[in-house]
């Protein structure tokens, strides 16, 4: 996936991999912070036995303030249905 804004991810639990550009992988551990610049093709894969807990910040905001997505698919569906729009102050003018 890619975003039109920068994404900041803080991994709080679990282990996995960051995948950049479809090929480059980097191991991710609790406490890691990853910043994905706008337009960068990326994905994250949980490779551990425990669930990932991740805090994500988009700058500017790309989702409603109270949004929680359990899966990427759920998030994309809500966006496609117009149910997860960023606040007006976060939209480019």
Q: What is the pTM of this model?
A: 0.69
- Note whether 42 and 69 are same-domain residues: no
**What are 55-79's pLDDT values in tens digits?**
998 887 777 878 888 887 888 888 8
- Note whether 6 and 49 are same-domain residues: yes
- Note whether 17 and 43 are same-domain residues: yes
Vertex 50, ends 46 and 51: CA angle to 5°? Answer: 60
Range of the structural domain that residue 83 is part of: 64-92
CATH number of the CATH domain containing 4: 2.60.120.10
Q: Do 50 and 13 meet the contact criterion of CB atoms below 8 Å apart?
A: yes
- Note whether 46 and 69 are same-domain residues: no
**What are 8-54's pLDDT values in tens digits?**
999 999 999 999 988 899 999 999 999 999 999 999 999 999 998 99
CB atoms within 10 A of CB 39: 11
């Amino acid at each position: 996936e890619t975003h039109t804004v920068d994404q900041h991810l803080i991994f709080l639990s679990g282990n996995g991999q960051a995948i950049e550009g479809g090929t480059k992988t980097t191991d991710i551990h609790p406490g890691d912070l990853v910043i994905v610049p706008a337009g960068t093709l990326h994905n994250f894969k949980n490779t551990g036995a425990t669930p990932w807990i991740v805090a994500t910040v988009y700058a500017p905001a790309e989702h409603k303030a109270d949004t929680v997505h359990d899966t990427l698919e759920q998030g994309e569906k809500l966006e496609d249905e117009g149910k997860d729009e960023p606040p007006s102050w976060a939209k480019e003018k």
